[in-house]
A and B are shown apart, each in its own frame.
Chain A
């Protein structure tokens, strides 16, 4: 049976992990490669690097981080943040990433989804959608790390990216993100039921029941989490054992 994926996410700025992790026994807890190895050893199902580097010069360091990670971690690796063109994607994939994530670029130029799917296959392309509840009872798509509202409805946009060839959707609820009060179940469910590709739920994880809920009622295929892992609250294995105890298929 296909298992639900548990995906830690590391925010990286100019080649260094931001917000820090609290891993013990790490020579350099700010090194994304060292952190990736810890998650690999804990049995994470995949890993995401989110590059939040502002300057494009420093973004080159991400290519090196990806290459060094691919030498030591044998699990799928996704890189997102600042990727705009098919050439940017190619650079990351050649460095050793298995998938690239795009967000703002896809909204600005949706054709880039078609181009990327044709060039690398849909499995290599994750479209990230940042969604926020609106007064009409639906969700609006935001770009630029959540700063800019668009005209797009999140469900319709999810269907469009699926049609254009995205391999999966990384769905972040901006209302829930950072609250530790749980995922937006209704959003995840609505998107997951509207598309035929996998949906990764992100934003709001505060405890393990939140993950159970979004995988069950929210119909998500995977969960992404950052702080819940970084600060040592839970190891990946703890999460999986808890999910298994609640009847969810996981890889132990």
Chain B
């Protein structure tokens, strides 16, 4: 299986590569459109701001191949911004269109006295369907590392795979037939995170 990690030059992907490799799935960086040709599963661990990422993906000529990949329902694991970008737009950069794979926007945590933003640290993801292969062996809920100020608000409730409470109850992950996308960082979530990566890739990998 050829596993690729999308790299549009925004930051360090070493921890994601390290975690995937430790989980038993060594991956290669995807830096140009041709790299999609041989690809079986795409991991997109986005970081930074919503608008900047869209701009940088377009500048690197990776935006169209990424859209095509998702439109063809090819296997996709999204992390953090790689989850947020699947939606239509974000309060972070109004006017910038996301990948719009799913309906809904990315909102910001509402400021309130005593609430720290970003939401930073370890929090619980409650699985809406604990029987989904992504969560195999993790029980009904698990604690992952989060760091973000914005989160997607999917219009389709059926997509939501887990929910997390921080001032409000938000959709911290989604699944579909070809896709798993989460707001938290499995690559920073120790054993639980590595287990999720193994589950996700076993689910997404092409069946031979």
- Chain B 125-160 interface 0/1 with A at a Cβ cutoff of 8 Å (1 = within): 000000000000000000101111000000000000
Determine if B208 is an interface residue (Cβ-Cβ < 8 Å): no
Question: Are B120 and A167 in contact (CB-based, < 8 A)?
Answer: yes
Question: Are A3 and B147 in contact (CB-based, < 8 A)?
Answer: no
Closest A residue to B145 using CB positions: A76
Closest B residue to A73 using CB positions: B190
Question: Contacts of B146 on A, CB cut-off 8 Å?
Answer: 2
B residues near A, CB below 8 A?
11-12, 14-15, 18-19, 22, 47-49, 111, 115-124, 143, 145-148, 165-166, 187-190, 193-194
Quick one: which of A2, A43, A251 contacts B166, CB cutoff 8 A? A2
Can you list 14 pairs linking A and B with CB atoms under 8 Å apart? A1-B123, A1-B165, A4-B121, A43-B190, A45-B121, A70-B15, A74-B190, A75-B188, A94-B12, A123-B118, A196-B111, A196-B115, A197-B116, A198-B118
Question: Contacts of A76 on B, CB cut-off 8 Å?
Answer: 145, 147, 188
Question: Are B14 and A123 in contact (CB-based, < 8 A)?
Answer: no
Distance of A42 from chain B, by nearest CB (Å): 11
A88 to B123 CA separation, bound complex (whole angstroms):
31
Question: Contacts of B165 on A, CB cut-off 8 Å?
Answer: 1
Question: Are B124 and A196 in contact (CB-based, < 8 A)?
Answer: no
Q: How many A-B residue pairs have CB under 8 A?
A: 85
Question: Contacts of A95 on B, CB cut-off 8 Å?
Answer: 14
Determine if A168 is an interface residue (Cβ-Cβ < 8 Å): yes
Determine if A159 is an interface residue (Cβ-Cβ < 8 Å): no
Question: Are B118 and A197 in contact (CB-based, < 8 A)?
Answer: yes
Given contacts A40-B190, A98-B188, A198-B116, contact A74 B122 (CB under 8 A): no
A71 to B18 CA separation, bound complex (whole angstroms):
6
Question: Contacts of B14 on A, CB cut-off 8 Å?
Answer: 67, 70, 94-96
Quick one: which of B123, B143, B166, B189 contacts A74, CB cutoff 8 A? B189
Question: Contacts of A93 on B, CB cut-off 8 Å?
Answer: 11-12
A120 to B11 CA separation, bound complex (whole angstroms):
8
Question: Are B47 and A3 in contact (CB-based, < 8 A)?
Answer: no
Determine if A243 is an interface residue (Cβ-Cβ < 8 Å): no
Closest B residue to A94 using CB positions: B12
Question: Contacts of B11 on A, CB cut-off 8 Å?
Answer: 93, 120
A94 to B165 CA separation, bound complex (whole angstroms):
32
Given contacts A98-B15, A123-B147, A196-B111, contact A74 B194 (CB under 8 A): yes
Question: Are B117 and A197 in contact (CB-based, < 8 A)?
Answer: yes
Question: Are A3 and B122 in contact (CB-based, < 8 A)?
Answer: yes
Determine if A141 is an interface residue (Cβ-Cβ < 8 Å): no
Closest B residue to A4 using CB positions: B121
A3 to B97 CA separation, bound complex (whole angstroms):
34
A97 to B74 CA separation, bound complex (whole angstroms):
31
Quick one: which of B49, B143, B145 contacts A75, CB cutoff 8 A? B145
A120 to B48 CA separation, bound complex (whole angstroms):
7
Nearest first, the 3 A-B pairs at minimum CB distance are A251-B122, A123-B147, A2-B123
A67-82 interface with B by 8 A CB criterion: 67, 70-71, 74-76
Question: Contacts of B193 on A, CB cut-off 8 Å?
Answer: 74
Closest A residue to B21 using CB positions: A71
Quick one: which of A45, A94, A123, A167 contacts B122, CB cutoff 8 A? A45
Question: Contacts of B189 on A, CB cut-off 8 Å?
Answer: 74-75
Question: Are B122 and A5 in contact (CB-based, < 8 A)?
Answer: yes
Question: Are A196 and B117 in contact (CB-based, < 8 A)?
Answer: yes
Determine if A116 is an interface residue (Cβ-Cβ < 8 Å): no
Question: Contacts of A120 on B, CB cut-off 8 Å?
Answer: 11, 48
Question: Are B117 and A222 in contact (CB-based, < 8 A)?
Answer: no
Question: Are B143 and A251 in contact (CB-based, < 8 A)?
Answer: yes
A70 to B188 CA separation, bound complex (whole angstroms):
10
A28 to B115 CA separation, bound complex (whole angstroms):
42
Question: Contacts of B115 on A, CB cut-off 8 Å?
Answer: 196
Question: Are A74 and B116 in contact (CB-based, < 8 A)?
Answer: no
